[in-house]
């Protein structure tokens, strides 16, 4: 699926089932919350924290999808075409960093 299609699907879902978008500020807070939930899973799975019983049902893929959902909501609300933005961002990173990481001794 292309990002533009994902943006359309989220918009259709909001209009059909969601009544309306939450405010941009609320969605920014929700995005932060979802990133925190993913961070918690990663800290326990790959870091030094141990899992609590309540964490055992946590699903990393689902948390990533929650983050994408809210990011798409924010893009739709603010008129950002994520597909275009991503293409431009990749070009910027390629131009700016095309030798930077290759020349980083810490990555070798």
Give the pLDDT score at 96: 93
The whole-number pLDDT of residue 57 equals 83
> Could you tell me which residue, 32 or 108, shows the higher pLDDT?
32
pLDDT tens per residue across span 15-59: 999 999 999 999 999 999 999 999 999 999 999 988 888 777 889
**Would residue 18 count as lying in a domain?**
yes
Q: Tell me the residue range of the domain where 19 lies.
A: 3-81
The pLDDT, as a whole number, for residue 62 is 97
What CATH number should be reported for the domain holding residue 55?
1.10.287.1080
What pLDDT sits at residue 98? 87
At residue 51, the pLDDT reads 84
Cα radius of gyration rounded to whole Å, the chain: 18
What total number of domains does the chain contain?
1
Query: How far is it, in rounded angstroms, from Cα 54 to Cα 65?
Result: 20
Residues near 75 by beta carbon (within 8 Å), at least 6 away in sequence: 7, 81, 82, 85
CB 60 within 8 A of CB 41: yes
On whether the CB atoms of residues 50 and 40 are closer than 8 A, the answer is no
53 domain-assigned: yes
- 48 in any annotated domain: yes
Helix (H) or strand (E) holding 13: helix 3-13
Q: Is residue 29 part of a domain?
A: yes
């Amino acid at each position: 699926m292309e990002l533009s299609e994902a943006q359309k699907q989220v918009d259709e879902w909001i209009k059909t089932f969601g009544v309306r978008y939450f405010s941009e500020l609320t969605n920014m807070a929700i995005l932060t919350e979802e990133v925190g939930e993913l961070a918690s899973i990663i800290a326990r799975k790959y870091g030094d924290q141990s899992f609590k019983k309540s964490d055992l049902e946590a699903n990393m893929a689902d948390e990533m999808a929650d983050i994408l959902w809210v990011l798409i909501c924010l893009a739709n609300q603010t008129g950002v075409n994520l597909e275009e933005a991503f293409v431009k961002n990749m070009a910027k990173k390629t131009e700016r960093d095309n030798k930077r990481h290759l020349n980083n001794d810490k990555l070798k």
